[in-house]
Structure formats: C-alpha cells, structure tokens
C-alpha cells in the first residue's frame, strides 16, 4: 500500500468515516465553492479617503514610509527624491509592469533603470502592488514578469507603488479581486503580503529592522489611479 493510501486510510478509520460520506463530501464542496468570509473586522470598512488614511497610518506603524503622487507622471520624480533623501545610488531595479512602464522615467536624467529579476546587487527596487490592505497597512504583491519576487526581498530599499483605488478594506476583498483578475488561471506562483520592512526580535526580543529582506519599505500611493 502506498503511504498516501495508508495515511488517508488511517484518517478515515480514526474519523470512522463511511456512511455519511456523501454528506461530508457536499459540505466540503460547498465550502470550497462558496469560500465564506467569516468574521471580517469593521476597521477597514471606511469611505475611500479615510480608508487610504488608515492604510497609511497602519503602514507607518509597521515602520514603512509613505508618499503620495497625483498620477504616474509624477512617479519618477518621487522615486528619485526618495533615493536622494536617503543618499542612495540613483539606480533602481523593476519588472515589466505596464503601469510602471507608463511613467516618464526618461525625465530623470541621472536615474538608471534595470529591468528583470534582481541578482542581489541592487540597492533599491521598485514594484507595483496588486493591492493595499487598509486594515493592517499591508501590501499584496503578485509574482511574474511584471513584478519579480526577487525585487521584493533582495534590494535593501523597496519602493512599492500602489494605486489609491486598489487600497481595499481587508484581505478578503484582495482575494475577491484576485479571483476576478485571474479568472481561470488560478493563483500566481507567489502572493506576497508585506507589512513594513523586514525585522527580527531574535536577540533578546529587541526589535531590529532589516533582517534578511529590505531595511526600508517606502510606499508611493498614486492618488488619481
């Protein structure tokens, strides 16, 4: 007997499963197809402006910094000024996200743009989030050519762009939008939920920022998008 059959057999025997199997099957099928939401906290359910303010407040509490731009036209200047303020090299790594690509990067004469996955040599990376979560100040990032996962973790400074209209009340709404966006293609390889920069409390429970991932997380909210 295979290990699979042995384990499933033991589980069934322990549960004394058998007669009511049809009932169990339909309960499981219903849960999978309905994916009920359960208890969703009220905290994030606010009108748009207040929701974005809550997102910002929660992200700052998680040690992220936040800036606003009116549209993608202003994004390159916002990125440049973040790098300047932190005395960082004028270079960023980013994927092929069309919203990022639509920004007038050529206007930033000294800013070098590297495309594709990060090899660990980049000081700063730029990603576009799929969504923001107001309840917790969390960013949801999906993997792929548009936003390579390595950009989220290898550069010491991570700049994440999020459209104001994608700042959602809660994680449940992110799943709803992701299901709608992906249709039958299912989950992307990776969904990263990111709340603030990397940290560790493993030495005497003292909180230190910048463990293995980015030391700084800078969020740029695009107000008119």
Partner 1 sequence: MQLTTDRFKQNAAEALADANIQRAMRNVEGGFIDKRVAAISRLPEFDALRDNARDIKNHVLTNLDLYLETYERNVTAAGGKVHWAETGDDACAAILEICRKAGARIVTKGKSMVTEEIGLNDYLAKRDITPVETDLGEYIIQLRGEHPSHIIAPAVHVNRDQVESDFRRVHTQFDPNRDLTEPVSLLGEAREVLRQKYFEADVGITGANFLVAETGTSVIVTNEGNGDLTQTLGKVHIVVASIEKIVPTLEDTAQILRVLARSATGQDMSVYTTFSTGPRRPDDPDGPTEYHVVLLDNGRSSMLGTEYQEMLRCIRCGACMNHCPVYHAIGGHAYGSVYPGPMGAVLTPSLNGIEKTGQLPNASTFCGRCEEVCPMRIPLPKMMRHWREREFERHLEPQSARYGLGVWAFFARRPKLYRRAVSFAAPLLARLGGSKHRLASLPLAGGWTRYRDLPAPEGRTFLDQWSERQAKAARRAK
Nearer to partner 1 among residue 110 and residue 145 (C-beta) = 145
How many Å apart are CA 76 and CA 104, to the nearest integer? Answer: 7
Give every CB contact of residue 148 below 8 A, 6+ residues apart in sequence: 95, 116, 117, 118
Beta 124-128 vs 91-94: how paired, if at all? parallel
- Shortest Cβ 132–partner 1 spacing (Å): 12
- Shortest Cβ 182–partner 1 spacing (Å): 10
For residue 171, report the phi and psi dihedrals to the nearest 5 degrees: -65, -35
- Shortest Cβ 80–partner 1 spacing (Å): 25
- Shortest Cβ 69–partner 1 spacing (Å): 25
Nearer to partner 1 among residue 69 and residue 139 (C-beta) = 139
Nearer to partner 1 among residue 9 and residue 89 (C-beta) = 9
Which residues sit opposite 221 in a β-bridge?
Answer: 68, 162
- Shortest Cβ 26–partner 1 spacing (Å): 10
Nearer to partner 1 among residue 110 and residue 190 (C-beta) = 190
Buried b (16+ CB within 10 A) or exposed e, 29-66: eeeeeeeeeeeeeeebebeeeebbebbbebbeeebbbb
22 by DSSP, 3-state: which? Answer: helix
**Alpha helix segments (H runs only) across 62-143:** 75-85, 98-101
Nearer to partner 1 among residue 69 and residue 171 (C-beta) = 171
């Amino acid at each position: 007997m295979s290990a699979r059959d042995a384990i499933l057999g033991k589980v069934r025997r322990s549960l004394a499963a058998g007669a009511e199997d049809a009932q169990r099957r339909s309960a499981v099928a219903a849960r999978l197809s309905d994916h009920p939401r359960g208890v969703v906290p009220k905290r994030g359910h606010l009108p748009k402006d207040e929701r974005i303010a809550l997102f910002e407040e929660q992200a700052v509490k998680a040690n992220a910094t936040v800036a606003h731009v009116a549209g993608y036209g202003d994004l390159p200047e916002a990125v440049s000024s973040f790098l300047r303020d932190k005395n960082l090299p004028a270079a960023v790594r980013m994927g092929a996200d069309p919203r990022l690509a639509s920004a007038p990067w050529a206007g930033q004469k000294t800013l070098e743009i590297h495309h594709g996955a990060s090899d660990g040599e980049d000081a700063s990376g730029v990603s576009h989030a799929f969504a923001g979560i107001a309840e917790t100040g969390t960013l949801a990032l999906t993997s792929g050519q548009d936003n390579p996962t390595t950009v989220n973790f290898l550069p010491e400074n991570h700049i994440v762009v999020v459209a104001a209209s994608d700042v959602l009340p809660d994680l449940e709404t992110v799943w709803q939008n992701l299901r709608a966006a992906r249709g039958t293609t299912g989950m992307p390889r990776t969904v990263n939920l990111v709340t603030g920069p990397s940290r560790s409390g493993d030495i005497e429970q003292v909180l230190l920022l910048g463990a293995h991932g980015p030391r700084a997380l800078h969020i740029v909210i695009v107000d008119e998008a």
